[in-house]
Amino acid sequence: MKSAGISDLPTFRQANDRPVAVIISSFISMNPDVKLQITQASEKDKVQQLRNGDIDSCITFPPMNQNGIEGRSFLTEESLLAVPHTHRLANQSRINLSDMAEDSFICINRDNPFRDMTNQFCQEAGFTPNVICEVDEHSAVGHYLRAGSGVAFLPETLIEKIETSFHVLHINKPICKRTYQISWQKDRYMSVAARRFKEFFIQSFNELQKKK
């Protein structure tokens, strides 16, 4: 375990979504004696870093299914479809994804697991998305939506409320959801600080779910 002075540094790989950041910020505020080292990596690298002991825990979706790695699912969220206000279905609240088979899609880049997941949703709906633009961050999607360039999948947790720059549609079929998991290496020593973070993280999300 790394240390700096008297402070332990629980090290983990994170999914870059707002609820996660809020809980991490709360943990830091409530535990000034603990320092977190936060980085990002591909799903494949996360598995290897857990096995090597380079990180204490990581956040993934979909949940890991790897020998020797344990995890706890903590959040399931809906994937929504954002369309320009001028779109033919902008007066609807719910659709079947097959209704979008002829549309142009703005997608997150191929290195992001969200892209693999949404491609699978489209396959389940019976089509391959016509991707006209790829972006590195979900935050960049809004610019192209406002310009009317196409439609885009967005995670539910990134939309605090319906934005005036685009319209959000819920998807009836197929079921478009993703589940997050916090994972760690089974039977590996975990410092007090790392255990404290893991327990705080899981408990915080359990409390959020109860409030819904």
Mean local confidence (pLDDT), 179-186:
90
Count the Cβ atoms, other than its own, within 10 Å of residue 101. Answer: 14
pLDDT of residue 12: 60
Each residue of 87-107: pLDDT tens digit?
A: 999 999 999 999 999 999 999
Examine residue 62 and say whether the peptide bond preceding it is cis (omega within 30 degrees of 0): yes
User: pTM for the complete prediction?
Assistant: 0.77
Taking a C-beta distance cutoff of 8 angstroms, is the pair 95, 101 a contact? Answer: no
Between 40-44, 121-125, 194-198, the lowest mean confidence (pLDDT) is in 40-44
Each residue of 12-28: pLDDT tens digit?
A: 666 556 678 888 889 99
What letter represents residue 58's amino acid?
A: C
DSSP 93-122: SEE-GGGGTTSEEEEE-TTSHHHHHHHHHH
Give the architecture (CATH level 2) of 3-74+178-211: 3-Layer(aba) Sandwich (3.40)
pLDDT of residue 143: 85
Mean local confidence (pLDDT), 177-202:
90
pLDDT of residue 7: 38
Candidates 3.60.20.10, 3.40.190.10, 3.20.20.70, 3.40.50.12280; CATH matching 78-177: 3.40.190.10
Residues of CATH 3.40.190.10 domain(s) within the chain?
3-74+178-211, 78-177
